[in-house]
Amino acid sequence: MPSSSINKDLQAERDKCSFDKKEFTLWWVGGKEKLKEKEDLEQFFANDPEFHNDPPIHFLSHKELYEETIRQSTAIFRKVRKFHEDRGNGDPSNYMSILGGLLGNGIIRQGNPLGIHFAMFVPALLGHGSPEQQAEWLPRALKCQMLGTYAQTELGHGTFLRGLETTATYDEKTKEFVLQSPTLSSYKWWPGGLAHTANYCVVMAQLFSKGKSHGIQPFIVQLRDEESHMPLKGITIGEIGNKLGMNGVNNGFLGFDQVRIPRKNMLMKNAKLLEDGTFVKPPSQALTYGTMMFVRVVICRDMAAYLSKAVTIAVRYSAVRRQSHINPNEPEVQVIDHLTQQYKLFPALAKSVIFKLASDNLWEMYNQVTSELDKGDLERLPELHAVACCLKAITTADAATGVEVCRLACGGHGYMTCSNFYGTYGMVTAACTYEGENTVLLLQTARYLLKAWLQAQRGQELVPTVQYLARFLSSNNRRVDWDDSISGIIRSLQTVAAGKLRLAAEHIEQRQKAGATQEEATNQTSIELARTADAHCRAFLVQSGYEMIEKACQTASPELARVLRSLYHLYTYDEALKALGDLLRFTTISESDINRLQAKLEATLAELRPNAVGIVDSFDLPDDVLGSPLGAYDGNVYERLYEEAKKSPLNQEPVNQSFHKYLKPFMKSSL
Amino acid sequence: MPSSSINKDLQAERDKCSFDKKEFTLWWVGGKEKLKEKEDLEQFFANDPEFHNDPPIHFLSHKELYEETIRQSTAIFRKVRKFHEDRGNGDPSNYMSILGGLLGNGIIRQGNPLGIHFAMFVPALLGHGSPEQQAEWLPRALKCQMLGTYAQTELGHGTFLRGLETTATYDEKTKEFVLQSPTLSSYKWWPGGLAHTANYCVVMAQLFSKGKSHGIQPFIVQLRDEESHMPLKGITIGEIGNKLGMNGVNNGFLGFDQVRIPRKNMLMKNAKLLEDGTFVKPPSQALTYGTMMFVRVVICRDMAAYLSKAVTIAVRYSAVRRQSHINPNEPEVQVIDHLTQQYKLFPALAKSVIFKLASDNLWEMYNQVTSELDKGDLERLPELHAVACCLKAITTADAATGVEVCRLACGGHGYMTCSNFYGTYGMVTAACTYEGENTVLLLQTARYLLKAWLQAQRGQELVPTVQYLARFLSSNNRRVDWDDSISGIIRSLQTVAAGKLRLAAEHIEQRQKAGATQEEATNQTSIELARTADAHCRAFLVQSGYEMIEKACQTASPELARVLRSLYHLYTYDEALKALGDLLRFTTISESDINRLQAKLEATLAELRPNAVGIVDSFDLPDDVLGSPLGAYDGNVYERLYEEAKKSPLNQEPVNQSFHKYLKPFMKSSL
């Protein structure tokens, strides 16, 4: 077993930390109460043999992994139930937040096939079910007496909802819907838990009644017999196969052959179908924004969590690992002392913080907009949607890159599955595709920006996140004066976004004048549009980060405030230097300004260097959650790697059977 | 089974191809003879049931995968042997090139534990063994009667060779070496085939004799009994565990406890240890460059091969997949018609070609330098080393990014293991770390550039790849006039590299004047130095690509020449626009120039659009090699995905046992 003593290099790092780590942690998790809750939960799950895998799951076959995940998932649900009951709070609707935390924390590393039940099936009942429908299904669903999933995506159809092919045709005679998969490409594909776990499903299908289409509507469909779990008649069901990650999720496919369900199984909180087959439109579509927004806030927060995990592992490892000399005749240095290593890890450290704050900020915006919505004020909804789209795209893309940079910074050992970078990457990169593919989302934000650009040109009042367009217009498109203060950098990045938006708008106009339809012109300008949305998002992140960090600094100790500002500065200088080409186009930045900015960035790396281990310690991620021999608190990297290797089933016998079966006969056969 | 008819969208793409695909293929593979050889080999292996996995390997456990790989590897070796014998060429030293091709082509998707025997063990015998030593071991090694591996990297020591801790101490009394692992961190770690496959090993260890160290030397060590395969006394051996990829490679660890080997087991072609313990230095170190160079040429070529595979899959899928409208009231469009999709895929297409040509070019340089070496002329060796270092770093990094871009461009289906992006990524991203970590290699190139900069300042004659430094100096550091001709862009990219080098050199000097040692100053400037090497490499790639493409166009038909030049133009415009910030600093490029360059890039995407499928077809990668339902020649994507899903072991029974064991009891338990 790894010795319990702390690696001396890591201890030396901790000794030089300049701030109170407990204060950082309290701020990071959101206060004393939240920290207590987190610690209670960690305690409750710690060292529970039910959650330890022997051998580790990466040695299992695909099928064994699913079975092991079901064992663990049901154990976790039971245990979470108990956790609540012990505290006198047995309300199952509270499970999800805790489960979300557990999943994010990685107790179940390859995803949970029951997760979708609370994450989408129950919310779909709440969001789309009438009071009577909720009364019928919700109690059973909340008690997990029925297990559901949510089937929207099809084999041939993803992001573009209107393209879905599955049909639900109303049969007036029997008062039933007939569900049908008209083609192979209409098979439902991807829903989590669908393959072998769920027995019920919300199915999104094209509603037909009286020979007319009424768009995509949600239906409750029973998939499997409650006793035998056998698929019901007309249902073709199975799993879609192995994936880059999330192999516990049990993603499935589903085909319908004349499956009949009663009329009451169409969820009718919004749109309705009357008994005689008359379709009744919903009063407003705005309500559906809610869940989507919420999911994007969660994604953005998760990205911060995953990135903070990867960077914790990489920073600790880089403090322990020694390689190459800087000065000859001195010992090999900690790799974290190589400036190039700092430049790989510390921006990822800063992004973990800034993305988490952006998620908090988005959440505040969401709550504000929702309260306005309740008063019937829809004005800021499109703005919120535009911010959420691009934040989802940028935080997932940057987190994925960041995790890979951290992994590569750990060299060969980062390539080991046990180091837990690859599992983390699998979770993060999936988020680049699900809940709206990133390029599609950037183009949605760009569409919003084009409208805002028109409003700005007309001198109309602009909502907060695009007010910089008015300033840009009032400057007559002139280059903004560069200054490298924070407010100067924010102004410059906003000018970049505005300048790119102006160009994209002009190019669309030119292409329309040359004969293209508006849609063709937009497609022809889409590279620029996606980049414009990217620039808008980065300006938002830098601005939002500033506000959130300064808010934190109002109550922080001077030592903590200094560290938080260093992280923010690094993020901002790094973003500015990455946007250098654009800054040169849209601001007056000069060659000496560039050198000065690079020097500032390097000075910030130096500032953060002595506190890097302290900062990742403050993220307060227990070893169980990090799940990596490279990142454990004690820094006994090599001992732990060796322990992990010894767990391999291949290492349980000195000679593998394949030697006798294949290798020896091969070696003995003469040429 | 998928129908054998071709998807009609894919057929329409093929119908509009403007060039002769056969002509492209002949150029791509290197002539009629090579094509014949390739086709013969494909034929020889095609439809051999020994190479079909049921179920596919991604459903296997870690241990099963190893056993299945040994079965396949020995079958392949036997079959390659037969292939040669059938042609009257039984010389086993020819195996490696064919095996290399097979591995690159992905018949064994997770790497081959026997590969290292021919890739490193045999070459080590050839490179380090004296004639007597070769006579003793080579015949048995070539017949695979002994199977070897090559152990250099240790648990705590990678790129920095001098840090290795394993010792080989000469015992004058017994005329033996005693091998010892003094610490856990000195355990050999990573060698392929070491864990359970090889029975011999070349071990790199610190030689001690007469109480003095004589640096790292190679030793032949027997690891396992030839009959029983049991590890020998004093040998601790096993596998290091599961990895992101290459799980068939059987990477192992190895510890020595007083393992004695005879004196003749030190490989003594170069350095020698006499019987009395006297160490005799080797005459020259230059020879060791050879293997390293060769490996880097191969890596660079492999990167082109992997990237061409990923882009073939993604381009075909994007021609079949339809999503969203461009013009409303028209059908959903092929996703390849979205400009953003073209901008993801076509640069990867161009890079496949340019990287392959760079590998060819490097190979020519290598052969030229080697022939000069034979005449005792070492002058161009450092230049060659500098080019090889940065090419390895940039091609592996860009190929890894390119494969991921292709995967993400295929949305959710790209996330499926069966789509074969993830397996490809696992192979490519590993190359960012092995054979010299990329950042370390870039800094090696930068070190060379700093020397060249000094030579340039002194007015000394410069070797070809850095002659641009003289031109830069003669221009008095002035910004170079931008023009967007190819030669103009090449000149500009070279100016960028020179300009960045000048700044880095100045900053090192300033830091030294401020009191830093040269080494400290270099470390403090290493972010800039790595970027300088990156810029140098990209200028080289654009220049080299130009020469190689123009050479090809001399004999190509006008139609083919047009396509090759389009690919080159796209690569070049893309590289230039990615370096925009630097172009704005070091050239006179203006705002209207930038818009013009962007327009040129977009025009090139449009030029390539109708030929995209034709180009990937011309790479001539059989379905077996692509191994992806998304990329098959017939384009029956959905049918093939469904077939793949049905192979999952979980789909062989309607209800998984975990339902009865865990799920049902959980659902029935009341709250």
pLDDT tens column, B631-663? 999 999 999 999 999 999 999 999 999 999 999
Q: What integer best gives the mean pLDDT of chain A? A: 92
Strands B279-280 and A252-256: unpaired
| A144 contacts on B by Cβ (under 8 Å) | 666-667
Residue B79 is predicted with a pLDDT of 82
Cα–Cα distance list, B13 to A505, B6, B7, B8 (Å): 32, 11, 10, 9
Residue B287 is predicted with a pLDDT of 55
Residue B90 is predicted with a pLDDT of 63
For residue A252, the cross-strand partners are A239
Among the partner residues A244, A416, A663, nearest to B415 by beta-carbon distance:
A244
Over range B277-305, report the average pLDDT. 82
Q: Which residues contact A37 (CB under 8 A, 6 or more apart)?
A: none
Q: N- to C-terminal Cα distance for chain B?
A: 47
Query: Distance from CA of residue B653 to its chain's centroid?
Result: 41
Strands A200-209 and A148-151: parallel
CB contact under 8 A, A241 and B671: no
Residue A110 is predicted with a pLDDT of 82
**Catalytic status, residue B435:** yes
Burial B166-202 (b: 16+ CB within 10 A, else e): bbbbbeeeeebbbbbbeebbbbbbbbbbbbbbbbbbb
Over range B12-35, report the average pLDDT. 96
Which amino acid is present at A447? R
Residue of A356, A359, A362 lying closest to A564 (CA atoms): A356
Residue A290 is predicted with a pLDDT of 67
Answer whether residue B102 shows pLDDT above 60: no
Alpha-carbon gap, residue A538 to A489, rounded angstroms: 11
| A·B CB contacts under 8 A | 373
Highest mean pLDDT among A106-110, A349-353, B474-478: A349-353
Contact A147, A200 (CB under 8 A): yes
For residue A255, the cross-strand partners are A236
CB contact under 8 A, A66 and B339: no
| B582 contacts on A by Cβ (under 8 Å) | 581
Would you call B398 exposed, middle or buried from its count of C-beta atoms within 10 A (0-12, 13-18, 19+)? buried
CA atoms within 13 A on the CB side of B350: 30
Tens digit of each residue's pLDDT (9 = 90 or more) over A377-436: 778 889 999 999 999 999 999 999 999 999 999 999 999 999 999 999 999 999 999 999
Two structure tokens written together for A355: 């993305």
Residue B2 is predicted with a pLDDT of 45
Residue of B319, B301, B320 lying closest to B105 (CA atoms): B301
Alpha-carbon gap, residue A116 to B137, rounded angstroms: 60
Tens digit of each residue's pLDDT (9 = 90 or more) over A445-467: 999 999 999 999 999 999 999 99
| A433 contacts on B by Cβ (under 8 Å) | 408, 411-412, 414-415
Two structure tokens written together for B212: 């003095």
Residue B579 is predicted with a pLDDT of 97
Which value, to the nearest 10 degrees, does the dihedral of the CA atoms of residues B295, B299, B305, B311 take? Answer: 180
Tens digit of each residue's pLDDT (9 = 90 or more) over B518-548: 999 999 999 999 999 999 999 999 999 999 9
Pick among B244, B333, B437 to test the A interface (most A CBs inside 10 A): B244
Neighbours of B334 (CB within 10 A): 18
Answer whether residue B103 shows pLDDT above 80: no
* Closest Cα in chain B, distance from residue A668 (Å): 6
Directed axis angle between helix A339-374 and helix A289-320, to 10°?
Answer: 160
Query: Distance from CA of residue B37 to its chain's centroid?
Result: 23
Contact A627, A313 (CB under 8 A): no
Degrees to nearest 5, angle at CA A471 with A469 and A475: 115
Over range A345-359, report the average pLDDT. 98
Q: Which residues contact A255 (CB under 8 A, 6 or more apart)?
A: A181, A184, A186, A187, A188, A235, A236, A237
Two structure tokens written together for A127: 């969001």
Range of lowest pLDDT (A222-231, A614-623, B361-370, B583-592):
B361-370
Which amino acid is present at A164? L
The pTM of the full predicted model, rounded to 2 decimals, is 0.96
- Higher pLDDT residue, B97 or B122? B122
Answer whether residue A374 shows pLDDT above 90: no
* Closest Cα in chain B, distance from residue A69 (Å): 9
Over range B547-559, report the average pLDDT. 97
Range of lowest pLDDT (A610-619, B154-163, B617-626):
B154-163
Strands B148-151 and B200-209: parallel
Answer whether residue B35 shows pLDDT above 90: yes
Residue of A124, A228, A236, A144 lying closest to A189 (CA atoms): A236
Strands A252-256 and A259-262: unpaired
Cα–Cα distance list, A164 to A182, A383, B414 (Å): 11, 28, 20
Alpha-carbon gap, residue A542 to A568, rounded angstroms: 8
Answer whether residue A1 shows pLDDT above 50: no
Answer whether residue A91 shows pLDDT above 70: no
A248 three-class SS? coil
Pick among B62, B68, B249 to test the A interface (most A CBs inside 10 A): B62
CB contact under 8 A, B61 and A60: yes
Tens digit of each residue's pLDDT (9 = 90 or more) over B253-287: 999 999 999 999 999 998 999 999 999 998 766 55
If you write DSSP's letter for every residue of B563-593 in order, what string do you get?
A: HHHHHHHHHHHHHHHHTHHHHHHHB---HHH
Two structure tokens written together for B448: 């060379």
Tens digit of each residue's pLDDT (9 = 90 or more) over A49-69: 887 778 899 999 999 999 999
CB contact under 8 A, B332 and A228: no
R_g of chain B computed on alpha carbons: 27
Residue B582 is predicted with a pLDDT of 97
Question: Above pLDDT 90, what percent of chain A?
Answer: 79
Among the partner residues A163, A594, A666, nearest to B74 by beta-carbon distance:
A666
Whats the size of chain A, residue-wise?
A: 671
Contact A62, A242 (CB under 8 A): yes
Q: Which residues contact B612 (CB under 8 A, 6 or more apart)?
A: B13, B315, B319, B336, B342, B345, B346, B349
Q: N- to C-terminal Cα distance for chain A?
A: 47
Contact B416, A241 (CB under 8 A): yes
Alpha-carbon gap, residue B98 to B119, rounded angstroms: 12
Directed axis angle between helix B339-374 and helix B591-608, to 10°?
Answer: 90
For residue B259, the cross-strand partners are B179
If you write DSSP's letter for every residue of B246-300 in order, what string do you get?
A: -TTS--EEEEESSEEEEGGGB--SSSEE-TTS-EE--S-SGGGHHHHHHHHHHHH
| A414 contacts on B by Cβ (under 8 Å) | 433
Among the partner residues B229, B339, B660, nearest to A523 by beta-carbon distance:
B339
Alpha-carbon gap, residue B120 to B190, rounded angstroms: 13
ipTM of the complex: 0.96
Q: Which residues contact B315 (CB under 8 A, 6 or more apart)?
A: B336, B345, B349, B612, B613, B615, B616
Residue A293 is predicted with a pLDDT of 79
Which amino acid is present at B254? L
Tens digit of each residue's pLDDT (9 = 90 or more) over B437-477: 999 999 999 999 999 999 999 999 999 999 999 999 998 87
Answer whether residue B671 shows pLDDT above 50: no
Which residue ranges of B are tagged as binding site?
153, 192
* Closest Cα in chain A, distance from residue B411 (Å): 6
Contact B402, B310 (CB under 8 A): yes
DSSP state, residue A166: -
Contact A200, A121 (CB under 8 A): yes
Answer whether residue A237 shows pLDDT above 90: yes
Contact A417, A423 (CB under 8 A): yes
Alpha-carbon gap, residue A415 to A420, rounded angstroms: 9
* Closest Cα in chain B, distance from residue A501 (Å): 14
| CA closest to B500 among chain A residues | A595
